[in-house]
Amino acid sequence: MRLHASQEDIASLLDPQVRENEFEMVEANFLAQGEVLLLKNGEALTTSLGAVSGDSSNEPWLRYGAEIEISVRYQDLEGRKYQSKLPLKVYAREGFGGGIWRS
């Protein structure tokens, strides 16, 4: 399974002043090495798009609320290929009870 998005769409999820290494962390989810090879029945997989909270002196570089359409491409065990489109939205997630863990 692979996620596909153009560089322009990926850039629209990020602050215009984003550092190159931060852009590349997000972009890696949409490149060949980001392929999910096989999931067991009922198994789920999530990603932070390479972004986690870190040094509090850094300004946020994800554009919370930004949304793009991505395509998900995959094939079954017989080699039949499929493609679906779905929205991908960047948002800050509230933790249990409205709080979030910070170090």
Question: What was the pLDDT predicted at 55?
Answer: 53
Task: Report pLDDT for 69.
Answer: 97
Residue 103: the pLDDT is 42
pLDDT attached to residue 3: 92
- CA distances (Å), 89 to each of 48, 75, 78, in order? 12, 25, 32
* Calpha distance 78→80 (Å, rounded): 6
Can you give the pTM of this predicted structure?
0.71
Torsion sign, CA atoms 69, 88, 3, 59: positive
Block means of pLDDT (10 residues each) for the chain, 103 residues, are 93 92 90 80 71 56 90 92 94 58 48
Sequence spans of domains, the chain = 2-98
